Amino acid sequence: MELYAERGFEQTTVAEIAARAGLTERTFFRHFADKREVLFAGSAYLQELLVSTLAGTPDSAVPIDAVAAALAAAGDLLGQRRDYSRARQAVIVANPDLQERELIKLASLAAALADTLRLRGVPEPAASLTAEAGIAVFKVAFERWIDGADERDLTQLIQDSLDQLKAVTAGK
């Protein structure tokens, strides 16, 4: 992150990243396919957390509340790393290829949530709509959180965004 902030993503080489971390390039490539993956290394863990939390919610939970529980778990996890999240997002916003990769990650998260909802018996299109709405709630809350204008934690902002979505869909 420091190198990306100092030099920019495009100008930072794998050799520089490895040297800064006290590693060889070979060791770097054992852990990451390329320098982009440094920014997205936690995606699989985040997806597993979302899916396992969603799958573990009570069967009686309505789909959007089950997704909300999963998003809250993600908020708890990411909420411990606000400074890192801000730095990471600044690198992504400055690079169109990374923005595309971030959108792919979010689409993958939505697809995983939709799959899990279908396994819970939620029919289409409700499963896909709920998953996509959940990821939209997460994205909006995350952006508000890293912006820093609102001092509430990420989990509170997720709940607030979800409440606002429910209010507009209920016509309030």
The pLDDT score that the predictor gives to residue 144 is 94
Same domain, 23 and 74: no
Residues 44 and 31 in one domain: no
DSSP string, 2-64: HHHHHH-TTT--HHHHHHHHT--HHHHHHH-SSTTHHHHTTHHHHHHHHHHHHHTS-TTS-HH
pLDDT value, residue 171? 73
Instruction: Work out the mean pLDDT of the chain and round it to a whole number.
Output: 94
Q: At what angle do helices 63-78 and 154-169 cross, to 10 degrees?
A: 160
The answer to whether 105 and 88 have CB atoms below 8 angstroms apart is no
Distance of CA 57 to CAs 61, 63, 72, 73, 155, Å? 7, 10, 12, 12, 17
151 and 75 co-located in one domain: yes
Taking the C-alpha atoms of residue 67 and residue 40, their distance in angstroms, rounded to an integer, is 22
What is the C-alpha to C-alpha distance for residues 101 and 33, in angstroms, rounded to an integer?
14
Q: Are residues 2 and 77 located together in one domain of the fold?
A: no
| Eight-class DSSP state of 8 | -
Predicted structure pTM score: 0.90
pLDDT digits (tens, 9 = 90+) for 75-87: 999 988 898 999 9
Residue 45: is its pLDDT beyond 70? Answer: yes
The pLDDT tens digits of the residues spanning 91-140 come to: 999 999 999 999 999 999 999 999 999 999 999 999 999 999 999 999 99
4: domain range?
Answer: 1-35
The reply to whether 48 and 29 lie within a common domain is no
What is each CA distance from 81 to 23, 85, 136, 154, in whole angstroms? 24, 6, 21, 10
Q: Is there a single domain that holds both residue 105 and residue 23?
A: no
Structural domain count of the chain: 2
Taking only the tens place, the pLDDT of each residue in 1-18 is 889 988 899 999 999 999
Residues 84 and 64 placed together within one structural domain of the fold? yes
Which residue's entry shows tokens 């396994």? 119
Residue 112 and residue 85 share a domain = yes
- The domain that holds 5 is classified in CATH as 1.10.10.60
Same domain? 98 vs 148: yes
Per-residue pLDDT, 149: 79
Residues 88 and 52 in one domain: yes
Task: Kindly report the CATH number assigned to the domain that includes residue 124.
Answer: 1.10.357.10
Please tell me the predicted confidence (pLDDT) of residue 148.
79
